[in-house]
Amino acid sequence: MPAPPRARMVSIVLILAFIVLRLSRIHVAELHDEDGYLWMSRLSITDVGFWWSGFRPFFVPLLFKLCREKALLIVVVQSLLSIGCWVLVASAFAAGIHRSSVLANVALGSVLACGLSDSVVSWDGLAMSESCSISLMVAIIGQWYGLLRGWQSRKLAALAGTILLWAFTRDSNAWLILSLAGALVVIMAFCAAGARARLAVLVAIFLVVFAGSASSAGAGNRWLVPYYNVVFKRILPVPAYRDYFEARGMPVIPALLDRSGKFAWDDHKASRTEPGLEGFRQWVKDHGKATYFGFLVTHPTVLWLGPLHDSILEPDEHLGQAGVLPALSSRGLGVLTGIGLLALIVLVVMRPLDRRRAVIPALLFVLSCLHAVQVWNMDAAEVQRHAQPIVLLLELGAIFSLFTLLDCIQSAQ
């Protein structure tokens, strides 16, 4: 049922206020090329290394190239992309709140408030992938809600395009896409034939995108530096772990032991240039992935409990105070997550007819846990920065769960 004119006006005012506040926070930071995106943007677009086998995935370097490496333009474009994506997800979710226009607008404002926090706004002024990655992630969530309201080919095409760009923004995003594909396979077992066929299409799209992203990362050897970080920071300092790798052919020589506790780029990037480590580098290329996979399978406590050892959900050191609202502390995030999980449980148990509406919030909670495992195990460097999407997945999962439950309760009255 359409919202009354006054409620629509309130929604417009909330969105305009959000846009004004975000635009007022645009700040031109000094764009240090810490992750090589500006360097990548200088490659020719006819170079296969730009699109496929480069040092970084292509989307962020492409954006910087289109902006001609001008700091102000980069910040403005990243900010506008973020604004548009947050308006999309907030509007898409609020449109599903049926019984109360007041509740719908409160839900709209709550989601938009997430997009005003330091954990979102601060990334816009940095030459990193976080701003674009977060923006595209929330756009995907909004598009998913759009598909729930009505399956259309154009919506599916738009979602597929966003998924593709997101996968080629950060390599770790592809693993989240693979996790989502796995979750959809499980959901398919409980769906009717028509819904199962539609989900199968989505799973196929996700798997193709994952395969493309993984192949690109392999072609560009983008996994090597994170792998070195894991070996140097987590494997070498622990004798039992070191022995496991040595038994599988890793040459534990003095030059490698000297890397213990360091990052791959320390000592003038010695891990990639020192002649004494050539044997180790070749072993990593030939046997590194299989050995690490076997290690994680045989050491499940490292795989699943590793993220608990670090405060990965604390605000990252790169975050400034560019936002209107401060980033949630890990304690605040824990409280909000607890409330959201409780609301989700009540929704699933007490409102069986509304369980379909619980799918997206439940997926966000599950994916946040899986992504925490992926982020921690894939790299030992800057884990808090890489974990920022997890914070937003938990925040949005809690907000969606709470307001969906309140809407269902009002519908029953």
Q: What are the pLDDT digits (tens) for 3-15?
A: 678 888 999 999 9
Residue that wins the pLDDT comparison between 328 and 168: 168
Decide if 259 is inside a domain.
yes
Percent of the chain with pLDDT over 90: 68
CA torsion through residues 376, 379, 384, 388, sign = negative
Percentage of the chain modeled with pLDDT above 70: 95
- Lowest average pLDDT, out of 143-147, 169-173, 251-255, 356-360, goes to 356-360
- DSSP summary character for residue 123: G
Which of 92, 181, 96 is closest to 144 using CA atoms? Answer: 92
Contact indicator for 105, 67 with CB cutoff of 8 Å: no
- Residues facing residue 396 across a β-bridge: none
Mean pLDDT within 331-335: 91
Does residue 316 come out as left (phi exceeding 0), alpha (psi in the -120 to 50 range) or beta?
beta
The separation between the first and the last C-alpha atoms of the chain, rounded to the nearest angstrom, is 17
Strand partners, 117: 325
pLDDT confidence tier of residue 31, bands split at 50, 70 and 90: low
Q: Is the pLDDT of residue 392 over 90?
A: yes
Tell me how many degrees the CA angle 180-184-185 measures, rounded to the nearest 5.
120
In a domain, 92, yes or no: no
pTM comes to 0.93
- pLDDT number for residue 225: 93
Whether the per-residue pLDDT at 212 is higher than 80: the answer is yes
Rounded to an integer, the average pLDDT of 372-395 is 91
pLDDT for position 281: 96
Q: Which domain holds residue 287?
A: 224-298
Domain count, the chain: 1
Owner of token pair 């007819």: 353
Residue 285 counted as domain residue? yes
Enter the tokens of residue 177. 């896409």
pLDDT band at 317 (very low <50, low <70, confident <90, very high): low
Region of residue 36 (phi > 0: left; psi between -120 and 50: alpha; otherwise: beta)? left
What average pLDDT does the segment 169-178 reach?
94
Q: Does residue 239 lie in a domain region?
A: yes
pLDDT in the model for residue 288:
96
At 132 the pLDDT is 96
Q: Which residues lie closer than 8 Å to 266 by C-beta, 6 or more apart?
A: 259
Q: Is the residue at 270 inside a domain? A: yes
Residue 335 counted as domain residue? no
pLDDT band at 32 (very low <50, low <70, confident <90, very high): low
- Better pLDDT: 316 or 184: 184
* Range with top average pLDDT, 111-115, 195-199, 302-306, 351-355: 111-115
Residue 106 binned pLDDT confidence (cut-offs 50, 70, 90): very high
For the cut 90, the answer to whether the pLDDT of residue 234 exceeds it is yes
Whether 101 shows a pLDDT value over 70: the answer reads: yes
Quickly list H helices, 189-232. 193-219, 224-230
Listed in sequence order, the residues at least 6 apart from 29 whose beta carbon sits closer than 8 Å to its beta carbon are 71, 75, 125, 126
Q: Is the pLDDT of residue 141 over 60?
A: yes
Identify whether 260 is part of a domain.
yes
Q: What are phi and psi of 12, to 5 degrees?
A: -65, -40
Question: Residue length, the chain?
Answer: 413
Could you tell me which residue, 411 or 106, shows the higher pLDDT?
Answer: 106
Cα distances (Å, whole numbers) of residue 94 to 100, 147, 235: 10, 14, 47
CA distance linking residue 334 with residue 234, whole number of Å: 27
Mean pLDDT for the stretch of residues 237-245: 97
Residue 136 domain flag: no
d(CA 70, CA 28): 10
Residue 265 has pLDDT above 80, yes or no: yes
Output the pLDDT for position 319.
66
Task: Residue 401: name the closest of 352, 353, 338 by CA.
Answer: 338
Question: Residue 322: is its pLDDT beyond 80?
Answer: no
